[in-house]
Amino acid sequence: MSDVLAPSQVLARYVRATDRRDGEAMARLFIENGTVEIYWFNSGDPQLLGRLEGRQQIGWAVANMMRPHPERGFSHHTTMDHIVTIDGDTAEIDAQFIVYNTLGAARPAAGWPDGATGAQGTVTPIEAGYYRSKLIRVDGEWRIAAHRIDLDLPMA
């Protein structure tokens, strides 16, 4: 795997662990004392919404603090436009993201109506912003040291 692709793969595993609410998989992506900071970017005037410290706390938060998916529902985090900078055993990633809420329609008891085709349900964008991660290479593997989430929308 190329040096530039490897840190992006960590971010890909991050979004999948988030979507699955898999705290153990998430914790493995961080160094022992890694951090996550969440900001509402507020048109360039960032406001800190929360901070997590240590891989155990980060993993616990993903497994226990994120809202569970509804029946027939899931979330899909997508990342794009990765800007990756590598300097020896440190790397930085700046990537845009969008989170989609997917909700499958309930199949009618009598079956789908005549003429129904394709996927049934809705896909709705619910979050957008930037992931800004600092990684370090530990024993040949990239791990997240600091992960910053800049949300474009305020959070309740």
Q: How far apart are the C-alpha atoms of 6 and 71, rounded to whole Å?
A: 34
Rounded CA separation 123/98 (Å): 12
pLDDT tens for the chain, residues 1 to 156:
567 789 999 999 999 999 999 999 999 999 999 999 999 998 889 999 999 999 999 999 999 999 999 999 999 999 999 999 999 999 999 999 999 999 999 999 999 999 999 999 999 999 999 999 999 999 999 999 999 999 999 988
106: which 2 tokens? 């309930």
* Cross-strand bridge partners of residue 47: 40
H runs (alpha helix) in 29-77: 55-64
- How many Cβ atoms from other residues are within 10 Å of residue 39's Cβ? 20
Structural domains present in the chain: 5-151 (3.10.450.50)
Give the sheet arrangement for strand 121-138, strand by strand: 47-53, 30-40, 141-151, 121-138, 90-104, 73-87
Q: What pTM does this model have?
A: 0.92
Which tokens in the block code for residue 120?
Answer: 């049934």
DSSP state at residue 1: -
Q: What length is written for the chain?
A: 156
| 124 closest CA partner among 99, 152, 155 | 99
Instruction: Give CA separation, 96 vs 14, 68, 130, 131, in Å.
Output: 14, 24, 4, 6
Nearest Cα to 134, choosing from 122, 126, 146, 117? 146
Q: Residue 93 and residue 137: Cα distance in Å, rounded?
A: 14
Of 138, 144, 139, 149, nearest to 7 (Cα)?
144
